[in-house]
Amino acid sequence: MNNESTDELRSEYDVRSLQVRKLGQGRKRFGDTVRLEPDVVKAFPDAEAVNAALRYLIEIAEHSANLTHRSGNVR
């Protein structure tokens, strides 16, 4: 067998920078990763802290929307 690839990949496809996740829960999921800016990374020690903060923000937004809706001032 020849060591060179026989795939007919177009030259505009650069697959050299692709990374394969071999271990862990998310190895078969795609699209659920976000890149945080450095200043945001400094504010959170880990992914769990980011998720907790976002869930709290969602809760506040939902509560605020409920209050606005109940007061009759739907925007």
Q: Is the pLDDT of residue 52 over 70?
A: yes
Q: What is the pLDDT of residue 27?
A: 62
Amino acid present at 49: A
Q: Is the pLDDT of residue 1 over 50?
A: no
Q: What is the pLDDT of residue 26?
A: 57
Q: What is the pLDDT of residues 5-41, one digit of tens each?
A: 566 777 777 777 776 666 666 566 656 788 899 999 9
Q: Tell me the two tokens of residue 56.
A: 């709290």
Q: Tell me the two tokens of residue 71.
A: 């007061």
Confidence class of residue 66 from pLDDT cuts 50, 70 and 90?
A: confident
Distance, CA of 72 to CA of 15 (rounded, Å): 54
